[in-house]
Structure 1
Amino acid sequence: MNAAPVSRRARPAKVPLSRDLVIETGLRVLDTDGSAALTMRRVAKELDTGAASLYVYVAHRDDLLTGMLDHVLSQVTVPAEGDWRARMTRLVESAIEALGRHDGLALVASGRSPITEHALGLREQVLALLREGGVDRATAAWAVELIYRHIAAEAVERADGEARAHWSLRALLNGIIATPAAGGPVRLAREDEIAALQEIERRAGAPFAEVGMSAVAEDEPPSWEVLRDFVTAGRAWVWPDDDDHPIAYLVLGLVDDQPHIDQVSVDPAYAGARIGKRLIDHAVGWSKSRGLHEITLTTFTQVPWNGPYYERLGFTYIPPADEPPGLRAIRATEVAHGLDEWPRACMRAELATWRTG
């Protein structure tokens, strides 16, 4: 006696099809059997349906791959703490790790730039971090694509180890930062820009609070009258952005008959673009053209963007016993103002050996 036919209604109900389900199934096929096995027919078989049913949710295999790539990028962790380089490093490492979990997908990422929600979100995060690091808009725009390609390549080559990945990202970021900043060139400051210079000074002071120097961070910028004297004398220069608005400035005094950098400040939003160095280069050029032989400044010796930075540029410390009268007077004023709560000293650089650029 033949058994009665089993009704279709007796089968377990299938999960309703959706784009997300098709994409997740595609990833499972990719991870199990590799990209060669990833076909619409194979995904349909896994879902116990016909291949034609999938086209309601994905247009074709390339659309499936794009959806899979975007799904994986949705898992990328967006860091919230640390400076811009640390957050960029963690963001890139998270993207590499996410892609690296699906061997064939890293190759897909290296060959396309999908315009999807999470792919665009990753690019926006990278762009925001580059801008925070002081990279100008034009450079940041192409650097985003370069970093995306780096993520895809490192995901493919992740077996080479983390040390190489760390090194290559550092080299990439250093190269981007070294790209000449947009805006510029250095020009004389105008009297109607004095308020803007004071605002730059306030912003440049804010990072001091992060190293326990709140009194310095809260100190008022030079007065309008003091800055006007520099502007009138032709010894106040700015680095303008693409719209000709100042984003950094330098004022140069004359102390002991030699040029003295009274103040050089860069808006922190543009830190790392070597704008301060360009302003100092200009002051050095101005000084050389007048037959002067050295340039001086006073600075905090233990703040990374002060003394150590100037040492890298070529400045050296002046022993207190060797300070000429003018510099000694400036130091006395600084002591009276309470600045010696933190180590501070005079520095000089020989104009003849200054390296521009």
Structure 2
Amino acid sequence: MDGRKVAAPVLAACLLAAVGAAALYSNREVRQGQSQQAAIEEEQRQRADLRGVIGSEKEAFFADDRVKRALDQRGLTVAVEKAGSRAIANSYDPKRFDFGFPSGAPAAAQLKQAARANAVYTPFYTPIVVASWRPIAEILVANGIAQPMPGGQYTLDMKALLALSAKGTRWRELKGSAAFATGKGVLLASTDVRSSNSAAMYLALASYLANGEQVVQSNADVERVLAQVAPLFSRQGFQENSTAGPFEDYLALGMGKTPMLVAYESQLIEFWLKHPDKARGDMVMLYPQPTLYSKHVVVPYTATGHRLGQALEADPTLRSLAHEYGYRTAGERKGPELWRQRGIEVPDVLVDVVEPPSNEWLERMVRGIEQRSP
């Protein structure tokens, strides 16, 4: 039998099967697209105004007209009030708000319990960093406490830095300190640990190191670390309640006022994206080793609060806009690769990352610090 006569019908059958499969796939794609469009149209018909309380660092994100339009496409109009993230966890009021949006998993866990929320949403996150200045970073490099990274940022040996703070070392006592030969102590500046998440994350990191590189999880651990961590806050003097104020001082007053500030990576990325000429200046980030991530968690109090959380997690436009404000997200594009295209080099992945204590033990440490304050 002629092989070509046998092959022809087989080839035709294969082609028909391929065409059929392509048509099926295409129809499925069309149906999925239609389903997604129908869901968006249904959301638009079910319009809702909602109110929430957010960490101050997210105020500009919600004020952005592009964010407002993207939320409007999903039928949501959002009004927000700002507060320190830990204060949010203590100010839950179901009569006033539809959601809380603090920074930090411990504060969110407390808020979730108070609100009896059956689900939470984590649309973006950011690592804790130290906002500093290149002359300061180079002094730390000269003393073996920091190391330069590709792209212009630095790693920071947190254990070594906190040891200097504990000894009361002054900047002028360090090797190569001519650029900052002051009598100020080598001490990180932070917000008020009683109200702000960034300070609470600093406490979480300092307590981990003071506890022999173990997460605090007992009364014995709390008692063991308090004597070491309390002075890191009490020696600072006045501290503000949220992250926005100290960061503005850092930008406006320079290293004389704030040589080192506990901050969020997102704050510096956002600033550099808006002021690209500053990205190669003296402002630098020091990535603590170890460090931890601050998760930004939407805790819904109402059905419309759930809709907001779902939109922030799932909507690609909102994720892209979050990158504009320096946040890392899930999804195919997470942030660092986009920032690199804009001339901002940061690590894609941080390896030396620890978890904060549960809210119970963090609260006990905060109360202990408060009791030891003058």
Q: Same fold (TM over 0.5)?
A: no
Task: Tell me which of the two structures has the higher relative contact order, counting C-alpha pairs closer than 8 angstroms and 6 or more residues apart.
Answer: 2
Larger strand fraction of residues = 2
User: Normalising by the residue count of structure 2, what TM-score does the alignment of the two structures yield?
Assistant: 0.24
Structure label with greater radius of gyration = 1
